[in-house]
Amino acid sequence: MIGNLNHVAIAVPDLAAATAKYRDQLGAAVSEPQELPEHGVTVVFVKMPNTKLELLHPLGENSPIAAFLEKNPSGGMHHMCFEVEDIRAAAQKLSEEGGRVLGDGEPKIGAHGMPVLFLHPKDFDGTLIELEEVKK
């Protein structure tokens, strides 16, 4: 069902400093910051030949990333995102097998303009999983 690893997301307490580390110290290409109010985050993508890192920073007081950073003030890995061809079929299969889709179960549009869903970390060995629909 899952395809490529689309990205690994890292919550960061200082987006500008984190972006500079990847760009200046590691020589990576980085995107401009992108605000995603519907998700409560500002993101920067670090581009690599085989995948991306997504640097996450809170946007607004109700950001889930703010809560994550309260527990992990230095930041850390927040989630992994896998590509799927049909997000609704993937969600249905997971639900039938006892997996839990977070939120209301309806896909939201993610940073790449594609539908995304998140899966409960307790169902995946403590790791939050994002599924992103990509058309091949």
All structural domains of the chain, each given as residue ranges with its CATH number in brackets, are 5-133 (3.10.180.10)
Output the pLDDT for position 133.
97
Helices (H), the chain: 15-20, 64-71, 87-96
Q: Are 68 and 78 in contact (CB under 8 A)?
A: yes
Query: How many whole angstroms separate alpha carbon 68 and alpha carbon 53?
Result: 17
Q: Give me the mean pLDDT over the 102-131 stretch.
A: 94
Q: Clarify whether 96 is annotated catalytic.
A: no
For 25-83, what is each residue's pLDDT tens digit? Answer: 999 999 999 999 989 999 999 999 999 999 999 998 889 999 999 999 999 999 999 99
Given the residues 54, 83, 130, 133, the one annotated as active site: 130
Residue burial 122-133, b: 16+ Cβ < 10 Å; e: rest? eeeeeebbbbbb
131 pLDDT band (50/70/90 cuts)?
Answer: very high
What integer pLDDT is reported at residue 136 of this predicted model?
72
Report, in angstroms and rounded to the nearest whole number, the Rg of the chain calculated over CA atoms: 15
Give me the percent of the chain exceeding a pLDDT of 90. 89
Angle formed at CA 122 by CA 72 and CA 114, multiple of 5 degrees: 80
